[in-house]
Chains A and B, each alone.
Chain A
Amino acid sequence: MMVDFFIGLFLASLITAIFTTRLFRLLLWYSFNSLTLGILALLIGFKIDDGAMIITGIVTIIIKAVAIPYFLKSFSQKFHFVRQITPNVQTHHAIMLVPAILVFTFYLSQPVTNMMSGNTNYVAVSISSLFLSLMLMMEHKNVAPKIIGFLSIENSLFLLGITATNGMPMLVELGIFFDLLMAIIVINLLFHREGFQGAKDA
């Protein structure tokens, strides 16, 4: 039951992120999104008594819910990003688009979920959140929200990994975290050039 609740929160925070027009609010929603993901990992980990999953849950909360939003926020202050990020897709189009994507992906994932044992809904939700984060990535011109979109894709894949397979091997999950940190470093280096001007048009 609680798992369902947090899955709902996960999707809800992602949808809200799509409609957000302010950078810091977007970071907040991303952090909330990752927090629910971490709690989900903890809940499922305790349910199936999987030590690796509990560890990944804790690492998720520390890295994705706290560290990455914090770093991104400090980057954005250091390099003076444009904080008003208006999506390219207008809201009244997005209002029609988001339910369309959801219905499409829910039906799309049905053949997949039919083959899974248990947790079928979570798989559908994670696939639809994958598409939603792609939309988040596409609807913004600025770089910073695109990065958030990329990180959200990572999140939804992570959700898929947790729910579809009851957790990937520990080694792989830690490797994914390592790559994520590497991505943050590269992003930081790229931003060094991204001045006040660059953030607007790049």
Chain B
Amino acid sequence: MLEFLLLPSIIIFILSFIKSDKVNIPLAFVSFLLVLPVTKLLLMPKPYAILGDYLVADKLSTYVLFVSSVVAIGVALALLTLHKHVKVSKHAYRRFYRFFAIFWVGLIFSILSNHMGIYWIGLELATLSTVYMIRTNHTDAAHKEAWNYMIVGAIAISLILFGIILIYASAKPILGEDAMNFSLLLEHAKEIKSPFLFELGFAITTLGMFVKMGFFPMNLWLSNIERASFYPVAALFSGILESAIIIGFFRFSKIAMVINYDQLFVFVFAYTILTIFIVSFLIFRAKDFIRLFSLSGIEHMALIAMFWTSGAPFAALLHFGAHAFLKPALFLSTGVLESNGKYKIAGALRGYKGFKGSLFWFLVSLFLLAIISLPPSPMFFSELYGFGSMVSVAKESHHLLAMIGAILLLLLFLALIFYKFIEIYQSMKYEGEEGEKKVYLSELLSLVIFAVATASLILPQVMSYIEGIA
């Protein structure tokens, strides 16, 4: 199975060395194939051991991997017409795909791993390969941001390793060499002799993950990087890399829930509320699409972490899926939206002619309204579930008043974000001059894929599948 999973990436890697401009089409085509082995994995009985105890496909990881592979298809589709929107050499495509292949390998390892060490190795591989993807944009800004990403990413990932070592040290006395195994660790979590050591390790690991997702102290670095790189890279960041990080958070926090739920709860809540507080004001000041979407991505990641820790894995996973589909779609549409200039929000949704154009603006406005969780969007349901479970958790712990206060505060911040998005939408649609913009078939196709995928999340079968994970 593992060979099957890795095969497309290996083919991409080899193809990327062929020095011909025509190779871009087969590269994109092979990228579509990424989804096939994952679909096969999805249909298999769970948990399915891919590589002994190290790589195990359970429901959670298959779901995350499947979502990621759908995003990968969309990105590959949009990449076909990248050169029509931005200045990019044909050569850069091949290098992008070369590192995309490595990225995907790292991602498979980190998402499917049942082992802290392998999770870290995969994550590091994915991080390092994205560094070079940023560099496909040949500008000074992108170059600087690539270094920035390398350094901040390295610090974040070192923090994660630091925490993993501490967790390993805490569990080694009872589990020996197997102390890095997530499922074993979960089973024996109660027996850990020095829970403080585990808590410390968990806190440091989580801190590393939060830094990597752009949480509280490092709010702007991710958005600056996404601004400097090409928009498909930004889509990859928000759609795939963040999912690899958040699945690690899911796994680690599952163990932490058993050991010391209160500490985990307070830590994550304080952190995420602080993050959302800052991000909501940053969003309010955002002046271009990519920063706007990137900051809103941070907000959603914070919400996902919050829902997960408040005992609503269903809400977290639904929100995660919806975000993973909507955000790359928005990032990919910026290619068209920004064809009048990077900082021109006004009038971005005007001037679309013909069937393709109108479908495009219709889809984009749908996405924009879905990302702020207006009712038919899956995000609406997930937030409903999430806040509900937060209240129910608080009921048990006699801190109902504090929780209701926190939720009100959150709603206030979310309302701020909501207001800003509506304002931007109105300015896009009704202000500014009407400039002619071209939409290409492949981008439209990818947007349609994302729209269908998002819509399918509210199907009862899919919902029950996600509920089965939790």
Assess A/B contact in the complex (Cβ within 8 A).
Answer: yes
A52 to chain B, nearest CB (A): 9
Which of B118, B131, B169, B170 has a CB less than 8 Å from the CB of A175?
B118
Secondary structure dominating the interface of B:
helix
Which residues of A lie under 8 Å from residue B158 when comparing CB positions? 130, 150, 153-154, 157
Which of B121, B166, B177 has a CB less than 8 Å from the CB of A178?
B121
- In Å, the complex CA distance between A183 and B168 comes to 24
- In Å, the complex CA distance between A93 and B47 comes to 56
B204 to chain A, nearest CB (A): 10
Q: Is B221 part of the binding interface, using a Cβ–Cβ cutoff of 8 Å?
A: no
From 89 to 108 in chain A, residues with beta carbon under 8 angstroms from any chain B beta carbon are none
Which of B129, B144, B155, B180 has a CB less than 8 Å from the CB of A169?
B180
| A179→B125 contact, CB < 8 A | yes
- Per-residue CB contact flags for chain B residues 6-39 toward chain A (1 = under 8 Å, else 0) read 0000000000000000000000000000000000
Q: Is B59 part of the binding interface, using a Cβ–Cβ cutoff of 8 Å?
A: no
Q: Is A22 part of the binding interface, using a Cβ–Cβ cutoff of 8 Å?
A: no
Which of A116, A168, A169, A190 has a CB less than 8 Å from the CB of B150?
A190
- In Å, the complex CA distance between A169 and B115 comes to 11
Which of B102, B117, B170 has a CB less than 8 Å from the CB of A172?
B117
| B124→A179 contact, CB < 8 A | yes
Given that A179-B121, A190-B131 are contacting pairs, would A160 and B162 also be in contact in the complex, using a CB cutoff of 8 Å?
Answer: yes
Which residues of B lie under 8 Å from residue A194 when comparing CB positions? 143
- In Å, the complex CA distance between A169 and B118 comes to 10
Which residues of A lie under 8 Å from residue B132 when comparing CB positions? 186, 189-190
Q: Is B197 part of the binding interface, using a Cβ–Cβ cutoff of 8 Å?
A: yes
From 158 to 202 in chain A, residues with beta carbon under 8 angstroms from any chain B beta carbon are 160-161, 164-166, 168-169, 171-172, 175-176, 178-179, 182-183, 186-187, 189-190, 193-194, 198, 202
Which of A134, A176, A179, A190 has a CB less than 8 Å from the CB of B146?
A190
Q: Is B200 part of the binding interface, using a Cβ–Cβ cutoff of 8 Å?
A: yes
- In Å, the complex CA distance between A47 and B128 comes to 36
Q: Is B111 part of the binding interface, using a Cβ–Cβ cutoff of 8 Å?
A: no
Which of B124, B161, B196 has a CB less than 8 Å from the CB of A115?
B196
From 347 to 361 in chain B, residues with beta carbon under 8 angstroms from any chain A beta carbon are none
From 96 to 149 in chain B, residues with beta carbon under 8 angstroms from any chain A beta carbon are 102, 115, 117-118, 120-121, 124-125, 128-129, 131-132, 135, 143-144, 146-147
Which of B144, B165, B194 has a CB less than 8 Å from the CB of A202?
B144
Using CB atoms, name the residue of chain B closest to A170.
B177
Q: Is A146 part of the binding interface, using a Cβ–Cβ cutoff of 8 Å?
A: yes
Which residues of A lie under 8 Å from residue B129 when comparing CB positions? 182, 186
Using CB atoms, name the residue of chain B closest to A171.
B117
Which of A153, A186, A202 has a CB less than 8 Å from the CB of B143?
A202
Which of B125, B131, B147 has a CB less than 8 Å from the CB of A143?
B147
Which residues of A lie under 8 Å from residue B200 when comparing CB positions? 111-112
From 137 to 193 in chain B, residues with beta carbon under 8 angstroms from any chain A beta carbon are 143-144, 146-147, 150-151, 154-155, 158, 161-162, 165-166, 168-170, 172-173, 177, 180
B35 to chain A, nearest CB (A): 26
Which residues of B lie under 8 Å from residue A165 when comparing CB positions? 165, 168-169, 172
Q: List residues of A whose CB falls within 8 A of some B CB.
A: 111-112, 115-117, 130, 134, 137, 143, 146, 150, 153-154, 157, 160-161, 164-166, 168-169, 171-172, 175-176, 178-179, 182-183, 186-187, 189-190, 193-194, 198, 202
Q: Which 10 A-B pairs have the closest CB atoms?
A: A172-B117, A175-B121, A115-B194, A164-B169, A179-B124, A165-B169, A150-B154, A153-B158, A115-B197, A186-B128
Of the A-B pairs whose beta carbons lie under 8 Å apart in the complex, a sample of 17, sorted by A's number, is A111-B200, A115-B194, A115-B197, A117-B173, A137-B151, A143-B147, A153-B154, A153-B155, A153-B158, A166-B172, A168-B180, A169-B180, A175-B117, A176-B121, A182-B129, A183-B128, A190-B150
